[in-house]
Amino acid sequence: MARIAPLSGFPELLPAQRYVEQQVIARLTRTFELHGFAGVETRAVEPLEQLLRKGDTSKEVYVLRRLQEEDGGKDSGIGLHFDLTVPFARYVLENAGRLEFPFRRYQVQKVWRGERPQEGRFREFTQADIDIVGRDVLPFHHDVEVARVMLEALAGLDFLPGFRLQVNNRKLIQGFYGGLGLSSDAIDETMRLVDKLDKLDAATVRGLLVDDAGLTAEQADRCLALATIRSSDDSFVEQVRALGVAHPLLEEGLDELATLVRSCSTLATASVRVEADLSIARGLDYYTGTVFETRLDGYESLGSICSGGRYDALASDGRTTYPGVGISLGVSRVLVPLLQRGALVADRSVPSVVLVALAAEGDRAEADATATALRARGIACEVAPTAAKFGKQIRHAERRGIPYVWFTTRTVGQPPRHEVKDIRSGEQVAADPDTWQPPSDDLAPRVIVATTTTSTERPSS
Amino acid sequence: MARIAPLSGFPELLPAQRYVEQQVIARLTRTFELHGFAGVETRAVEPLEQLLRKGDTSKEVYVLRRLQEEDGGKDSGIGLHFDLTVPFARYVLENAGRLEFPFRRYQVQKVWRGERPQEGRFREFTQADIDIVGRDVLPFHHDVEVARVMLEALAGLDFLPGFRLQVNNRKLIQGFYGGLGLSSDAIDETMRLVDKLDKLDAATVRGLLVDDAGLTAEQADRCLALATIRSSDDSFVEQVRALGVAHPLLEEGLDELATLVRSCSTLATASVRVEADLSIARGLDYYTGTVFETRLDGYESLGSICSGGRYDALASDGRTTYPGVGISLGVSRVLVPLLQRGALVADRSVPSVVLVALAAEGDRAEADATATALRARGIACEVAPTAAKFGKQIRHAERRGIPYVWFTTRTVGQPPRHEVKDIRSGEQVAADPDTWQPPSDDLAPRVIVATTTTSTERPSS
């Protein structure tokens, strides 16, 4: 027997945990579809030249090789995708003539990264992305739209801790820096350094801005002052203006960000909040306007679990440019730590609402008929695997969290008598397989938020 | 710009095609869950020593290598799974202490095989598996159960051509051969040769049975006679008995197969049929009783699209053995050829039921409110991307297959007047965003069976 052990970075879930993940994905996709997003899947692999277009991610790619390749083990030239944006951009170009623009799609798939595994970082994980892509142009209101759709989707995950969506705008930052008189190179370097504020203290970043980016002390101070601005309404606009910088691009960015925050604030709740956070820049260089990050309350150490933004050139074939705006939720990144800590679990490990008990093996055909009648009305059920003592059959149900056990008693010369027992309360009542209905809350497993975070259920990772 | 081209063997679907696949998977999983099967996913990779336990599949494995591995490009020792059975057997062993047996799970996932692509064979494809696994023992009635569940699931795919489930039993074959006096080696060789009857004619196989397997002419004739027996009821039992062979294992196999065929025949319909087919053996050596294959009507050249059987040792850790019975549907294998030929497609490329038209860009907030009111009642919709002329907005809906366009007219001093137009009939009626309900048939895209098999929609493959 070969080695049986978890593979580090490749988390797997037990059935009651997987049910939680299925629920999350079902609720997300339901919201996406209500907003007209079509589901798309792309193949798991891309040509390496596609994957390596951004040099800094190259070390994360898993390359594929056919084990018994005729040419002696040469790489196939294909690798596993490390996100859903690169394959989606390729899909848009490949199918541009057969898609309708603006094209709105959601995509929930696994991605792979060959990096060293650590808390909240996996080698295989599931992402849920939404994007809207235009041909040549894509109005700004779509930036608002993807933010609102994702907020609504996150609000639907009501068994998770709260979320804080942080938004900023690259035009605002670049316009501000331009208004300070920084050169194009200094703007890029300043953005890169200010982005380090979550790891370095302000004094250190200030020193780097002066020493590395060549800013004056006053320019550095104003850049840092900009990055401290936060507000959950559009009051950030006045705070930025108070810094005394003017630039057309800054005005455009302020206007866009204020519109976004105002439009999203109507969706904000106690558990899903929106704020302008002018320190957010996103490291990747292709964002050109709106940028998003998201923190999970109580799990801030996970970093941003839902990120994205506007890219004026998501894809281009040289003749046509496809601008896009999107946001990507790290489903595994949010869920696996919560499942591992036992903070979330389903209240049963099987979909079954009812276990149909068996008095004798010879009753199996009748028990199957009872089960069929229940299923015809959408009630998931299973028939006991053996005609063991009823106590054992009830424990069989209990161990799986199945709430009801169905008993059928036969007396010669009389129709069979059906009873159903709620094994949580012990209540047992007469029931008809063709009409009995459990409370709707019992029809599917429920996601339970644990009050303690210790549990024997744990995924391997 | 890097090369943009389909990768041979990695099919991708356009949105209206992907919707069909989503529908197939949703209907399958719904049936599996109604029967108490829990959804499980396993990681995409397994250690190579797990994947190579069956030597003859080794050439199909894709091995992973981290592109910038510190040690200079050595393989990681992991490869992509080529089926869902090997990873599931490993999952059962790894989690045996945390699972309840008999354990019933469904699993719908992609698998990868590095083989040469051809019609109906892909390098990446989706499988839908159900299995029931016991600890130490697993009663035969579970063989009946997986067959019945898959039949019910296939019957739910009513937009597909019909299916023919062919069942046989290894005990029957082995008992028959043993009753003829064949040695254990000759039994294996005979089974292997008779399995070639779908490629070689009977005279050729008869010659091989005599020359290679060492059978007498009379033994060869009786083996071939057994393989010609087919029946959609249990009349095959009498046909086998007429061949005059007796063996306890043969009796056991006859009894099991007759039970299976009788139990499944009650589910048979014109489009989902069951038959005992005594030529079915399945090449893989681990089946020990029931074996399944399935043909898709009109697409017999695809081979078996849904196969499986009983394995008395699905997994073993040396102390405990886990018998199992399962069946695996090749979702891509069935669907992609149909989608490629245009035989199936969805009637729209987006989930949206309604496009909310815009008279002016300034009306967007109100249009969003209308859309929100519709979504609150489960009606998927989108707001027009621009306030173009209404004719253009209607064509926007038409190109996507969206059936309804919503218009709002404002007159100063009066409440807005809402109307909804069915753009298929042209009928336009007054409507209230808080109460209007489309016919339930329009709530989601529908899968359309094309009467012709030419179409401009095609997946890349």
Do residue B385 and residue A139 have CB atoms under 8 angstroms apart?
Answer: yes
pLDDT band of B54, cuts 50, 70, 90: low
Q: Tell me which DSSP letter residue A215 carries.
A: -
- Top residue of B62, B93, B95, B406 to mutate, by most chain A CBs within 10 Å, is B62
Which of B7, B11, B93 has its CB closest to that of A45?
A: B7
Report pLDDT for A72. 55
CA distance B227 to chain A (A): 31
The SS3 call for residue A442 is: helix
- Top residue of B67, B336, B347, B382 to mutate, by most chain A CBs within 10 Å, is B67
**Residue of B61, B279, B76, B276 lying closest to B173 (CA atoms):** B279
Taking the CB of residue B198, how many other CB atoms lie within 10 A of it? 11
For A116, residues 6+ apart whose C-beta sits below 8 A from its C-beta are none
Residue in chain B nearest A96 by alpha carbon? B14
Residue in chain B nearest A315 by alpha carbon? B1
Share of chain A above pLDDT 70, in %: 93
Q: For A241-282, where are the E strands, in sequence order?
A: 272-277
Is it the case that residue B210 has pLDDT exceeding 50? yes
Phi and psi at A342, nearest 5°, equal: 75, 15
Is it the case that residue B56 has pLDDT exceeding 70? no
Report pLDDT for B72. 55
Q: How far apart are CA A430 and CA A408, in angstroms?
A: 10
Is it the case that residue A87 has pLDDT exceeding 70? yes
Residue in chain B nearest A378 by alpha carbon? B34
Strands A321-330 and A404-409: unpaired
Q: How far apart are CA A396 and CA B241, in angstroms?
A: 41
Report pLDDT for B455. 41
Partnered with residue B80 across adjacent β-strands are: B45
Do residue B351 and residue A34 have CB atoms under 8 angstroms apart?
Answer: yes
Is it the case that residue A25 has pLDDT exceeding 60? yes
The answer to whether residues A8 and A85 touch, using CB atoms and an 8 Å cutoff, is no
pTM score of the predicted model? 0.95
For A422, residues 6+ apart whose C-beta sits below 8 A from its C-beta are A403, A404, A428
Where does A266-344 have alpha helices with state H?
Answer: 331-340
Is it the case that residue A247 has pLDDT exceeding 60? yes
Q: How far apart are CA B349 and CA B352, in angstroms?
A: 9
Report pLDDT for B456. 42
Among A41-45, A453-457, B245-249, B256-260, name the one with the lowest average pLDDT: A453-457
Is it the case that residue B453 has pLDDT exceeding 50? no
Compute chain A's Rg from CA coordinates. 28
Compute chain B's Rg from CA coordinates. 28
The answer to whether residues A253 and A170 touch, using CB atoms and an 8 Å cutoff, is yes
Contacts of B67 in chain A (CB under 8 A): 48, 58-63, 79, 114
Is it the case that residue A200 has pLDDT exceeding 70? yes
Do residue B43 and residue A124 have CB atoms under 8 angstroms apart?
Answer: yes
Read off the tokens for B371. Answer: 């859309």
pLDDT band of A69, cuts 50, 70, 90: low
Is the preceding peptide bond at A161 cis, omega within 30 degrees of 0? no
Is it the case that residue A391 has pLDDT exceeding 70? yes
Contacts of A34 in chain B (CB under 8 A): 351, 375, 378-381
Contacts of A400 in chain B (CB under 8 A): 100
Taking the CB of residue A303, how many other CB atoms lie within 10 A of it? 16
Give the H/E segment covering residue A397: helix A390-400
Q: What is the pLDDT of residues B147-188, one digit of tens each?
A: 999 999 999 999 999 999 999 999 999 999 999 999 999 999
**Residue of A56, A460, A124 lying closest to B64 (CA atoms):** A124
Q: How far apart are CA B18 and CA A124, in angstroms?
A: 23
What is the residue whose two structure tokens read 């592109």?
Answer: B67
Question: Per residue in A223-251, is it b (16+ CB within 10 Å) or e — as a string?
Answer: bbebbebbbbebebbebbeeeebebebbb
Question: What is the overall mean pLDDT for chain B?
Answer: 92
Residue in chain A nearest B374 by alpha carbon? A34
Q: For B143-210, where are the E strands, in sequence order?
A: 163-169
Q: What angle is formed at CA B317 by the lines to CA B314 and CA B321, rounded to 5 degrees? A: 45
The SS3 call for residue B348 is: coil
A:B CB pairs within 8 Å: 237
Do residue A66 and residue B66 have CB atoms under 8 angstroms apart?
Answer: no
Is the preceding peptide bond at B102 cis, omega within 30 degrees of 0? yes
Read off the tokens for B243. Answer: 């061949």
The SS3 call for residue A180 is: coil
Which of B2, B34, B66 has its CB closest to that of A62?
A: B66
Q: How far apart are CA B396 and CA A101, in angstroms?
A: 9
pLDDT band of A282, cuts 50, 70, 90: confident
Residue in chain A nearest B138 by alpha carbon? A385
Please tell me the number of Cα atoms within 13 Å of A19 on its side-chain side: 21
Report pLDDT for B444. 97
pLDDT band of A56, cuts 50, 70, 90: low
Domains and CATH numbers, chain B: 15-345 (3.30.930.10), 354-449 (3.40.50.800)
Strands A124-133 and A45-47: unpaired
Report pLDDT for A456. 42
Residue B320 at interface with chain A, using a CB cutoff of 8 Å: no
- Top residue of A32, A67, A109 to mutate, by most chain B CBs within 10 Å, is A67
DSSP per residue, A50-76: HHTSSGGGGGGPEEEEETT-TTSS---
Taking the CB of residue A10, how many other CB atoms lie within 10 A of it? 20
Report pLDDT for A349. 97
Q: What is the mean pLDDT of residues A374-390?
A: 97
Q: Tell me which DSSP letter residue A43 carries.
A: -
Identify the burial level of A161 via C-beta atoms within 10 angstroms of its C-beta, where 0-12 means exposed, 13-18 middle and 19 or more buried.
middle
Q: Which residues 336-365 of B are in CB contact (within 8 Å) with A? A: 349-352, 364
Q: For A384-442, where are the E strands, in sequence order?
A: 404-409, 417-422, 428-430
Q: How far apart are CA A276 and CA A265, in angstroms?
A: 11
